[in-house]
């Protein structure tokens, strides 16, 4: 009986939701260099806390609707989520079809297992796509936590910026025993124009879709 009660309390703690005022975010970014052209940028959380190596997935709920979001950017203090996700939670419709403006809405969120957000990753491997040139500080931290989700589930691509406008869309390899610099088919970090990989922003409050700069 005591064991059952303890397990029930532990589960409640792990799954308990937190209520916060959540606002819409309409410009994709990632402080750790996650490449927007290889994820669903309409399902991203921009939380005040620093991005870590395990808690990369959150579930946000409003009424009877909920979405899973990749937590891959740190905000300046607000709890922001992609405008399309915010609009869907608030209205039940995509921001591209029925956009609304309202600002902060009280919603519940909980951190959940990263596996719940794997469907938001669009790489063939379904590993988190990171910039080989500009994500190495984050990668090194996560590799130092060798059992963390990011350490075991990331790939490096020779793209310089999160909105995928420069570089080469190719997978790079990394052997930290040899070098802390990834090895790519092309020279690492060359700012060549990258075409065919646009990141699309959904603008607040119109719902208009534009190519991210």
Please indicate, yes or no, if residue 128 is contained in any of the structural domains.
no
Residue 2 has pLDDT above 50, yes or no: no
Please indicate, yes or no, if residue 150 is contained in any of the structural domains.
no
Residue 13 has pLDDT above 70, yes or no: no
For the chain, the domain total comes to 1
DSSP string covering 42-84: TSEEEESSPP-SS--EEEEEETTEEEEEEEEEE-SSSEEEEHH
Q: Which domain holds residue 56?
A: 20-120
The CATH number of whichever domain residue 68 belongs to comes to 2.40.40.10
Please indicate, yes or no, if residue 1 is contained in any of the structural domains.
no
* Cα–Cα distance measured from residue 127 to residue 96, given in angstroms and rounded to the nearest whole number: 28
What mean pLDDT value characterizes the chain?
93
Query: In the numeric block, which tokens belong to residue 203?
Result: 């603008």
Please indicate, yes or no, if residue 98 is contained in any of the structural domains.
yes
Residues linked to residue 116 through DSSP beta bridges, in sequence order: none
Please indicate, yes or no, if residue 54 is contained in any of the structural domains.
yes
Q: What is the pLDDT of residues 31-72, one digit of tens each?
A: 999 999 999 999 999 999 999 999 999 999 999 999 999 999
Residue 161 has pLDDT above 60, yes or no: yes
DSSP H or E stretch at residue 30: none
Residue 1 has pLDDT above 70, yes or no: no
Please indicate, yes or no, if residue 192 is contained in any of the structural domains.
no
Please indicate, yes or no, if residue 76 is contained in any of the structural domains.
yes
Q: What is the pLDDT of residues 75-129, one digit of tens each?
A: 999 999 999 999 999 999 999 999 999 989 999 999 999 999 999 999 999 999 9
Q: Give residue 12's pLDDT band: very low, low, confident or very high (50, 70, 90).
A: very low
Please indicate, yes or no, if residue 154 is contained in any of the structural domains.
no
């Amino acid at each position: 009986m005591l064991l059952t009660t303890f397990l029930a309390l532990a589960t409640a703690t792990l799954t308990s939701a937190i209520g916060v005022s959540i606002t819409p975010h309409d410009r994709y970014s990632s402080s750790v260099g996650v490449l927007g052209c290889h994820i669903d940028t309409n399902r991203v959380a921009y939380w005040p806390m620093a991005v870590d190596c395990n808690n990369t997935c959150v579930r946000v709920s409003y009424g009877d609707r909920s979405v899973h979001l990749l937590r891959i950017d740190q905000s300046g203090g607000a709890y922001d989520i992609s405008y399309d996700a915010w609009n869907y939670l608030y209205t039940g419709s995509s921001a591209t079809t029925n956009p609304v403006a309202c600002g902060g809405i009280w919603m519940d969120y909980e951190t959940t297992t990263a596996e719940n957000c794997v469907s938001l990753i669009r790489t063939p491997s379904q590993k988190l796509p990171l910039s080989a040139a500009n994500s190495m500080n984050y990668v090194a931290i996560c590799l130092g936590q060798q059992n963390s989700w990011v350490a075991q589930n990331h790939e490096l691509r020779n793209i310089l910026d999160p909105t995928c406008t420069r570089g080469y869309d190719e997978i790079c390899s990394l052997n930290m025993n040899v070098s802390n610099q990834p090895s790519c088919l092309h020279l690492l970090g060359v700012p060549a124009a990258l075409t065919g990989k646009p990141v699309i922003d959904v603008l607040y409050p119109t719902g208009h879709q534009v190519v991210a700069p």
